[in-house]
Amino acid sequence: MSTPVPPLVPTSAMPLATDSDAAFDAKAFPALASLNPFGVSLEAIGAATVTNADAALAAALGGDLPAITGQALKLLRVNAGETAAEFIDPATVVLAEAPELSQVQVENPASTVFGQVSGERLAQAGVVSFTAQEQQIGVGQTWQLVTRSVNVWYQNTTGKPIGVFGRGSISSPVVWDVGPSTTDFIVIDMSDGDSSDSADYGWIIVPVDHYYRNTATWNSARELR
């Protein structure tokens, strides 16, 4: 490859704005003449760049790289001896297998061991995550006006917790019984039934399959379900 010719620096003194007319003219003409070799040097650099680039490409394609004919869709890599490049078929590439994780390692968030997780384990994790989200109260639920009678048990059969809002009459406290059965329950007194109030309010959360009732007076009832 040829070496670019360095540009020639003009040797003539450059005219200055402070020069007299005569001095300016005396410097200008030699300076312009000295620019001709400078332009020749720049042309030589451009020509050398083109020549060197062509030579580098020819050397790469003809010597350092294997022929690409017939190597469609193959991978290019350095051979094992690090002496040349070669094409390989992707189908013949064997990747190292990661160790199988135990159930403890999969379920332990503090584990620093990484590997393959079976599709069954991933499916189980997805189901658990989805189920946990679906069990959250308020997810996919809306407030609904319902008709409820005093001292009548109602069971939550929706498959997820629900919220129940009740409104009592003047001087009538909102008192709830809530439990897993109509014989196993706790009493929740939500208000005092103060006669100075226009009405008493209260609301509870009823777990899945649990029962609830109001032992006071219902003016209205709504369920978040």
Ranges of each domain in the chain: 1-64, 66-118, 143-224
Across 22-31, 69-78, 121-130, 201-210, least confident range: 121-130
pLDDT above 90: residue 181? yes
Output the six-digit token pair for 59: 């050397």
Work out the average pLDDT over 26-44: 73
pLDDT digit string (tens) for 67-94? 778 888 888 888 888 777 888 888 887 7
Rounded-to-integer distance, Cα 206 and Cα 222, Å: 13
Fold of 143-224: Jelly Rolls (2.60.120)
How many whole angstroms separate alpha carbon 218 and alpha carbon 147? 9
pLDDT score of 20? 85
